[in-house]
Chain A
């Protein structure tokens, strides 16, 4: 029995990631914060599909014995979201790397040629 504990974790992770995005100055740390928000979102969807005492949502020929399964749809959604998240994180880090080459800094206060 987990109760509402997972939702609490999701909320805390989401807020932490959001604070990171807004207040962090380092581009790599911002990328990490985005990943944290992503993890919170994925955890949220998985938690929604969880039924306490449920088994994995796979039909086998032998039969699982229990008719109670966790919902399969959220798991499929999360898998897709994880793959997308991986792609965006990789791209974001590579941008951070290239920005470092041009500006010689990862600090957002230095990366400010576009303004006004």
Chain B
């Protein structure tokens, strides 16, 4: 038995320890605090990577807290798991890995970016708390803990969005975000209570095993769908997203993207693993598809008219989330039909999952480079910028990589995931593919606009003293830049090793459920 069985617990313990020790390390001065910030971030990224490789080689990992043994999911004489259970299947491990990379990049970037400000020990503590909550949402095996981790990551991120509290706008954005998030979390709790009222369990695997299709389940599903779609910024409730993303410090936004992806993860855990094929009617899949198409289109059309760099990029987040919802919705539609699944459903799912990793990487990089522009010039408005390519060539190159990836230009990773989505959604209805393509074109248009306005053109006199941003910020950006290039250069590898296991795990409801109940047979002893 190797120490690696404890990886799921370490994944939560390390950032939590990082959070509570951050104020202490700050007593030792700036250097010690920054070292701690980097060290803990590197540690949880390493743990996430090890967990991912472990789940890839030995299958779904189970971890029980508060029981007699780490692998004793079912205490003797019980037919349902009653402990705090963590369950990491390939899809969870995939989400954990990419969230960790985004959080690492955000942390590295923040060191240089936040250097001018005070109160950074609180910043570091909140950052790690947010990361803990995000990991918790992705690996937890029961719904109540999902709610708890959702609240941990949300409350920490409210504080981070409002970090620049000398700006009224930041507080306004944080309040909006808080209202939407709190209401969403309470709806999740009510949904959990509904399921509990009928089955007396909150464990995901057990629920997936015993669930039937009735009024209580429909209510719970609608509540889950509404709440988690709100949290990940799908269209009717998207207005918090541009505000919060644009007002938060750039390094935080990079991690916030991963947090919103964790909500998306929750949504798909509920729909695929709990309800799965029980959901006979196509209503819910179509609701998800329509939400996706609306998010794509409305998000991008709002983005085109923005003048602030941060808000423009943030509106693109709304439209990119739409792509993922579209892919997962189409996959869900085909879930109960084996032939449709083989024909287009699985491709759509792969496209959706691939888009999650691509989106997290390039969107994180876009926000970081917008942050770099703000750091160097002090302005947010595109109309005030110009000719910065001469002064900040490295930032420009990194921005170009991210912009080409999000617009889906052929050699880049965004193109591959979008191609999957076009192919598969075309099989359901051509109009879906048309919407996806139009969105892609508009995306390209708006990024050409940023690129042309901010980086090209004659050098402006007021930017004479602008310098390239400091090294740590460039390193943070390069982490994501390298990830994008790697995903672009090895598309076959990333589809086979990153995306497909995750997609298979998501549709394989039986193995997620079986892993918990098998753990009772193998894990009898201490």
Contacts and interface: CB of A to CB of B under 8 A. Distances in A.
A6 to B, nearest CB: 12
Interface stretch (B34-42, B172-180, B322-330): B172-180
A37 B159 contact: no
A109 B182 CA distance: 21
B159 A81 contact: no
Interface string A20-33: 01000001001000
A69 B304 CA distance: 60
A87 B398 CA distance: 39
10 contacts: A71-B200, A73-B202, A84-B148, A84-B155, A92-B175, A95-B158, A95-B175, A98-B162, A102-B171, A116-B305
A6 B156 CA distance: 33
Name the residue in B182, B242, B247 with the highest tally of chain A Cβ atoms < 10 Å from its Cβ: B182
A84 to B, nearest CB: 5
A115 B171 CA distance: 14
Contact of A87 (B155, B176, B242, B247): B155
B177 to A, nearest CB: 10
Contact of A114 (B144, B173, B196): B173
B314 to A, nearest CB: 11
Given A80-B148, A114-B172, A91 B155 contact: yes
B182 A92 contact: yes
Interface in A98-116: 98-99, 102-103, 111-114, 116
Of the four ranges (under 10, 10 to 19, 20 to 34, 35 or more), the interface on chain A belongs to 20 to 34
A99 B171 contact: yes
Interface in B144-165: 144, 147-148, 151, 155, 158-159, 162, 165
A81 B179 contact: no
A41 B162 contact: no
A88 B178 contact: yes
B65 to A, nearest CB: 14
B151 A88 contact: yes
Contacts of A37: 183, 186
Nearest to B161: A95
Nearest to A91: B158
A38 B186 contact: yes
Interface of B: 144, 147-148, 151, 155, 158-159, 162, 165, 167-169, 171-176, 178-179, 182-183, 186, 189-190, 193, 196-197, 200, 202, 242-243, 246-247, 305-306
- Interface SS majority for chain A: helix
A95 B168 contact: no
Contacts of A96: 175
Given A92-B182, A99-B175, 19 more contacts: A34-B179, A37-B186, A41-B190, A48-B197, A77-B202, A81-B189, A84-B148, A87-B155, A88-B151, A88-B155, A88-B178, A91-B158, A91-B178, A92-B175, A102-B167, A103-B168, A112-B172, A114-B173, A114-B246
A103 B189 CA distance: 34
A43 to B, nearest CB: 10
B182 A88 contact: yes
Contacts of B200: 71, 73
A113 B168 contact: yes
Contacts of B167: 102
A102 B144 contact: no
Nearest to B244: A114
A48 B193 contact: yes
B269 to A, nearest CB: 19
A41 to B, nearest CB: 5
A87 B190 CA distance: 19
A102 B167 CA distance: 8
Nearest to A97: B171
B258 to A, nearest CB: 21
Nearest to A102: B168
A100 to B, nearest CB: 10
B171 A95 contact: yes
Contacts of A44: 190, 193
A48 B182 contact: no
Interface string A54-97: 00000000000000000101100100110010011001100110
A84 B151 contact: yes
